[in-house]
Amino acid sequence: MTLVSKGIASRPTTERRPGGTYGRVARRKAVLGAALMAPAVLLVGGIFIVPIVMSIWMSVSKWPLLGPHHLIGLDNYLRLFNDASVWRSFAFTAIFALIVTPLVLVLGLVLALIVQKGRPGIGVIRTAIFAPVVVGNAAASYIWLALTDPGAGLVGRLLTDLHLTGAPPNWLLSMASATTLVVLAVLWKTIGFSMIVLMNGLNGIPNDIVEAAMMDGASRARTLWSVKLPLMMDSIAFVATFTFIGALLTFDQFYIITGGGPDSTTVSAVYAIYNTAFTQLNLGYASAISIVFMILILVLTVFQLRLFQSRSS
Amino acid sequence: MNLRRRTIFSALAAAGALTLGLSPPTAYASEPIALWARAETGSFLTPLVEAYNKSHERQISLTLVPDAQVTQKYSAAAATGSGPDIAIIEIGRLPQFLASGWLQDITSDLAGLPYKDALSPAHVSQGELDGKHYALPLSADVSVLYWNKALFKAAGLAPDTGPKTWDEIRSTAAAITKTGNGNFGYFFSGGCGGCMAFTMLPYPWAQGAEVMVGEKANFAGNKALGDSLQLYRDIVKDGSTPNTAQTENGANQFGPFFSGKIGMFVNGTYPYVELKKSHPDIDFGIELVPSKDGSGAASFAGGDDIAITKRIDKATGMEVLKWFTSEGQQLLAQSGVLPIRSDIAQADYVSLDPRNQVFVDALKYGHIPKSPEVNAIFFDNSSPFAGLVQAGIFGTGPIDAALNAAQSAADKITGK
């Protein structure tokens, strides 16, 4: 009773004195909060906001790699909308991402199902599949370029020795085979990562739910389709989004393996941006392409996440 | 306490401002001279810098910039005035730096050099803008026609004489291919814009044509260039090249000739040194790339120029440049590297091997397309010229249409 009456007695006092003890505490908390947030705000601002604002500024400027720059309004954007080579690179990149993403998901899931259960030697298999993930993109691309070289590559030799082809195939001779080669290189490089993430998703499903489905007579395929996949939708969404964005941003593989050829048919969007900035030395136009491409990726990613959200619910 | 803190802060701020704002932009006399070059030059430049440092008190600190980063790093340095005191720049890229104000005008110093007339004319021209010179030649790589004498003999041809006309090149390539055993008459890197500029452009140049006129590419209606593409198309049609020629992107441009299975290819000084060192079993000859009827010849003059940036005083910079173009060239010649001075080449380089004379002559006939946009128009693998090579040599449509398409693509770049 005494405590209550003390509390009641003290409350009106602080309300009447907003600048008193409580006000000072609140202000200190606010300052402390701002101070604790400052590094994150500076980091986000420095790494994301400033470069984007800078890119927007450059995209409305005539900005050569060397020499003075000046504002030109929307000229770069108008040029972009009439530039068939840029849209060709966007379309090619989208097709590439639409091929790679389902392949990574399906093959990653198959591998995850194979290596999920602990069996003798399974650790070695998991490690072998995951190992390419830690190889750098450039190194991996050069490995694939050397392996598939029609003159000295092991792949060509193997195919001819097995009498599957009459001569070592020249993968870079057509757009389709050059793209296939890059798809294989990307699968080799990324499949281990999706396998690990999807395996975690599978391991996170409670056993009793799976057992209940089996006891109700559901086949393995039915259990996978109707029970496991819906319950691991977060992992699937993560792999799909991560792979899709990664595929849209592919550069190294095309730069090193195909060089954009044959006849510039395998120039990805980022490759086109790189060429515009560092071959044509036109940073302003490259920034305009980057901004439009960034917006397209944002729209596609939001659409993709919405799709997974609706499936999940 | 607050006052003391404020005083310390003010002192630190003042010191920072002084450091940032008032420090001289030029290098201090006691500091080493910062020299930048592309990594590809490291093999001959490193010993050259070591020799310079042995004979000079003020040392040179050499930074080799990875080839893929040269444009970005040099451009950043040029834009901000930072970077090296002396820059060694690949001559194809040099024109894009001339108007930036990064390099010092050395026109009068060049005019005063007693050996100015012996310097490679293509290299000197690349360092010139509006009558002012900003760079001196440093290293050269010129393209010549190689032939494999053993394969010539196997095909019943005179092994010591290379083909003198385009018709001879085509018929020789076909004859060598007929010997079988995986042999082909001719090889080129069709998937590499820079390689094709280096190895194919000597053909139209030997005809007296130009591929750049002023600021513009000269593709549409260029008969000599069209004829050169036709020669290559015919060679491909005859089956005288391996099918890798269409896609070879520069990574393996020497390998086929080094394997001893290729009769002819056009290339520079690197395979010459490498063949003698690592493939002594391959007996080869070299000659200038001939014109259609053999009455003329030409070469692509590549390599590097050396220039002084505004970070260092010109007297010190010129001392370095003079050493690299005199004692430095003698050291290069004596070690079997083609010098950029004809007088030193005749005295110290030709005597090492009579074939060296071909490279010295090639320097005289050396051309290079001069434009700040040369990389985008010619050298990049997705350039208009690279597209022209694919359509003109491997396509089935009219070559004139390919030339027109390349002209239109190049005009978009030069007109940006």
More confident residue, B36 or A12: B36
Which residues are paired to A224 by β-bridges?
none
Pairing of strands B136-142, B297-308: antiparallel
Cβ contact A262–B390 (<8 Å)? yes
Distance from CA of A152 to the nearest CA of B (A): 9
Domain limits, chain B? 27-141+301-367, 144-267+382-414
What's residue B10's pLDDT?
43
More confident residue, A278 or B326: B326
Residues in chain A closer than 8 A to B371 (CB atoms): none
pLDDT digits (tens, 9 = 90+) for B389-416: 999 999 999 999 999 999 999 998 887 5
Asked if pLDDT for residue B12 goes beyond 50, the answer is no
Query: How confident is the model at residue A305, as a pLDDT?
Result: 83
Which of B249, B382, B412 to probe the A interface (max A CBs under 10 A)? B382
Neighbour count for residue B64 (Cβ, 10 Å): 16
| Rg over CA atoms, chain A | 28
pLDDT of residue A5: 42
The reported pLDDT for the residue numbered B165 is 97
| ipTM score above 0.95 | no
How many CB pairs below 8 Å do chains A and B form together? Answer: 84
Is A172's CB within 8 Å of B191's CB?
yes
List the domains of chain A with CATH numbers.
Answer: 2-59 (no CATH), 76-312 (1.10.3720.10)
DSSP 3-state assignment of B198? helix
* Cβ proximity of A80 and A289 under 8 Å: yes
pLDDT over 90 at B13, yes or no:
no
pLDDT at site A309: 77
pLDDT digits (tens, 9 = 90+) for A80-106: 998 999 999 999 999 999 999 999 999
Provide, as residue numbers in chain B, all residues whose Cβ is less than 8 Å from the Cβ of A260: 381-382
Res A20: pLDDT: 65
pLDDT at A18: 53
| Chain B residues within 8 A of A149 when measuring between CB atoms | 252
Q: Do B191 and A261 touch (CB under 8 A)?
A: yes
What mean pLDDT comes out for the span B322-340? 95
Question: Is residue B105 scored above 60 in pLDDT?
Answer: yes
Mean pLDDT to the nearest integer, B11-31: 47
Instruction: Sort out which chain A residues have CB atoms less than 8 A from B191's CB and list them.
Output: 172, 259, 261-262
Nearest-Cα distance to chain B for A245, in Å, is: 24
* Banded model confidence at residue B367, pLDDT cuts 50, 70, 90: very high
Of A132-141, B10-19, B304-313, least confident by mean pLDDT is B10-19
Amino acid identity at B352: L
Tell me which residue of A65, A59, A98 sits closest to A291, measured CA to CA: A59
Give the CATH class of B144-267+382-414. alpha beta
Mean pLDDT of B66-83: 84
**pLDDT at A44 (0 to 100):** 87
pLDDT at B275 over 90: yes
What pLDDT is recorded for position B22? 39
Q: What is the pLDDT of residue B29?
A: 63
CATH class of B27-141+301-367: alpha beta
Categorize the per-residue pLDDT at B19 as very low, low, confident or very high, splitting at 50, 70 and 90.
very low
Average pLDDT over chain A, rounded to whole? 88
Mutation target to probe the B interface, by most B beta carbons within 10 A, among A254, A264, A283 is A264
Write the pLDDT tens digit of every residue in A5-15: 444 444 444 44
* Region B237-262 average pLDDT: 92
> Is 60 exceeded by the pLDDT of residue A16?
no
Q: What is the mean pLDDT of chain B?
A: 90
Query: How high is the pLDDT of residue B17?
Result: 39
CB spacing of B372 vs A262 below 8 angstroms: no
Predicted local distance difference test score (pLDDT) of residue A311: 67
| A contact set with B (CB within 8 A) | 65-67, 145, 149-152, 170, 172-173, 259-264, 267, 271, 275, 278-282, 285
At residue A62, φ and ψ (nearest 5 deg) are: -85, 110
**pLDDT category of residue A313 using cuts at 50, 70 and 90:** low
B416 contacts on A by Cβ (under 8 Å): 280, 282, 285
The amino acid at A82:
N
d(CA B152, CA A46): 64
Mean pLDDT, range A98-123, rounded to an integer = 92
Q: How confident is the model at residue B68 (pLDDT cuts 50, 70, 90)?
A: confident
Contact between B147 and B284 under an 8 Å Cβ cutoff? The reply is yes
How far is the C-alpha of A192 from the C-alpha of A126, rounded, in Å? Answer: 8
Cβ–Cβ under 8 Å, residues B191 and A262: yes
The chain B residue lying nearest A257, using CA atoms, is: B249
User: What is the reported pLDDT for A128?
Assistant: 94
Q: What is the pLDDT of residue A6?
A: 44
Percent of chain B clearing pLDDT 90 (strictly above): 78
Buried b (16+ CB within 10 A) or exposed e, A70-89: eeeeebbeebbeebeebeeb
B191–A264 CB contact, under 8 Å:
no
Interface test with A, best of B246, B247, B374, B378 (most A CBs within 10 A): B247
Q: Are strands B60-65 and B33-38 parallel, antiparallel or unpaired?
A: parallel
Pick from B337, B310, B302, B308: which is nearest to B60 by CA? B308
Chain B residues lying within 8 Å of A177, measured CB to CB: none
Same fold for the domain at B27-141+301-367 and the one at B144-267+382-414? yes
pLDDT band per the 50, 70, 90 thresholds, residue B256: very high
